[in-house]
Amino acid sequence: MSQTTQTAPRRDRTHFLYIAVIVAVVLGIAVGFLAPDLGAKLKPLGDAFVGLIKMMISPVIFCTIVLGVGSVASAAKVGKVGGLALGYFLVMSTFALAIGLVVGNILHPGAGLNLTDELAKSGKEQAAGAGSTTEFLLGIIPTTLLSSLTEGDILQTLFVALLVGFAIQTMGAAGKPVLRGIEHLQRVVFKVLAMIMWAAPIGAFGAMAAVVGETGIDALKSLAVIMLGFYATCALFVFGVLFVVLKVTTGVNLFKLLKYLAREFLLILSTSSSESALPRLIAKMEHAGVEQTTVGVVVPTGYSFNLDGTAIYLTMATLFIARAMGDPLSIGEQISLLVFMVIASKGAAGVTGAGLATLAGGLSSHRPELLDGVGLIVGIDRFMSEARALTNFAGNAVATVVIGAWTGSLDKERMAAVLDGHRPFDEATMLDEDDRHEEPVPV
């Protein structure tokens, strides 16, 4: 009897949390429509929740990468994973740009719209949020070793974590106590994150009430073409390109993978930031059978360099603004401007509103006469940001599985068992404990 009691699985109560998130989103939309002024004042609730999530990003990335790199036997394996990942990201971003250009040139979004003085002013204000490519590259180097963990910059954290991981790796046996200490720190970090997630319904309610209250239905009608076109393009990329890539390279069904990550997609939908789900993606990919080293390199790097949704957004938004301003871009101008924007957007994939700042910065440096047009999409950027973040997240999830298969660090039998529901994810701790050493669950 005691043995049965010990092995009985703990009841997962977290599904109540995600039901509450759905209810909160619906209530937020209702409040935004019925009481716009009140809805706008609820924005700090959403900002506070996203702030709590972002607070955890740097420690999660640091612990994951240091453990992954520091515990691997050879630095060559980390280099192989990173090289394959960057090559994959480049190819997929090119596909995203191409699809966005084709759809954008077919739909001709923005034709017939007129720019107002208010929108022009708003567009100019957005330019202040974007820096140059040189500033981006220099910004990878933190002021101090510890400042990378306090300033919240993903690339700085990634850079320092790699240095620390390789340093521990070269220490040999002397580095093992350090790794054990970081493992304990990781458990604490994930436990704090699990506690924060219980505030998700409040954050979702405030965020949705604010965006609906500030924007209203009238502001969306004249921009329906660009919004629907963008959503359709993102769907085409995810269910077309990513489906084929995942199926051909790994044999994994995309729909099963997306179902496994359904809670993360809901979290992104409510916060409009793919960064809010980054820690959970790391935990779930490891649980699904991808080695810790591969996950620790591919996921954080993908959040900075695998920007499929952002590439599509920048493509269609640029074409929209150019036509709305009565100055359409040639194919050559479209390609050169968009390549610059994709480079400039590295490291900002998970930051809400970063795409808008990148768009303004690119137009300011290449076609300043079009900068005023950024104000045309300020009102709907929040809605487009959701689809952008969802696409980025899906792309990074697929990339992790694909790179894992290519490097031989994917346990396909375990992934099949997880995606089929035979190995449920532990929502309480977000850690597998010693799950890797258990006997396989019969399928």
- What's the pLDDT tens digit per position in 22-78? 788 788 878 888 888 888 788 888 778 767 777 777 787 788 778 777 766 555 566
| Structure confidence at residue 154 (pLDDT) | 67
| Structure confidence at residue 166 (pLDDT) | 83
In the chain, domain spans:
17-437
What does each C-alpha distance from 133 to 137, 362, 424 come to in angstroms? 6, 10, 43
Element housing 390 (H / E): helix 381-406
Residue 4 makes CB contacts below 8 A (sequence gap 6+) with none
Please give the CATH number for the structural domain made up of 17-437: 1.10.3860.10
Contacts by residues 13-20 (CB-CB < 8 Å, ≥ 24 positions apart): 14/197, 14/427, 14/428, 17/197, 17/198, 17/200, 17/201, 18/200, 18/263, 18/266, 20/200, 20/201
Q: Tell me the CB-side half-sphere exposure of residue 56, using CA atoms within 13 A.
A: 24
One DSSP character per residue, 302-331 reads HHHH--HHHHHHHHHHHHHHHHHTT-PPPH
| Structure confidence at residue 69 (pLDDT) | 72
| Structure confidence at residue 399 (pLDDT) | 92
Rounded-to-integer distance, Cα 71 and Cα 15, Å: 34
pLDDT tens-place values along the chain, 443 residues long: 444 444 444 555 556 766 777 788 788 878 888 888 888 788 888 778 767 777 777 787 788 778 777 766 555 566 777 788 888 888 888 888 888 888 878 877 655 555 444 444 555 555 455 455 566 667 778 777 787 777 766 677 778 888 888 888 788 788 888 888 888 888 888 788 778 778 878 887 887 787 677 666 654 555 677 788 888 899 999 999 999 999 999 998 999 999 999 888 887 877 666 777 878 888 898 888 888 888 888 887 787 777 788 888 888 888 887 777 776 777 777 777 777 666 655 544 444 455 666 676 667 666 777 766 666 666 566 667 778 888 988 999 999 999 988 888 888 889 999 888 888 877 666 555 544 444 444 43
| Structure confidence at residue 441 (pLDDT) | 41
| Structure confidence at residue 110 (pLDDT) | 59
| Structure confidence at residue 35 (pLDDT) | 83
| Structure confidence at residue 13 (pLDDT) | 59
Determine contact, residues 392/309, Cβ cutoff 8 Å: yes
Q: Is the pTM of this model over 0.75?
A: no
Provide the token pair at 408: 């031989």
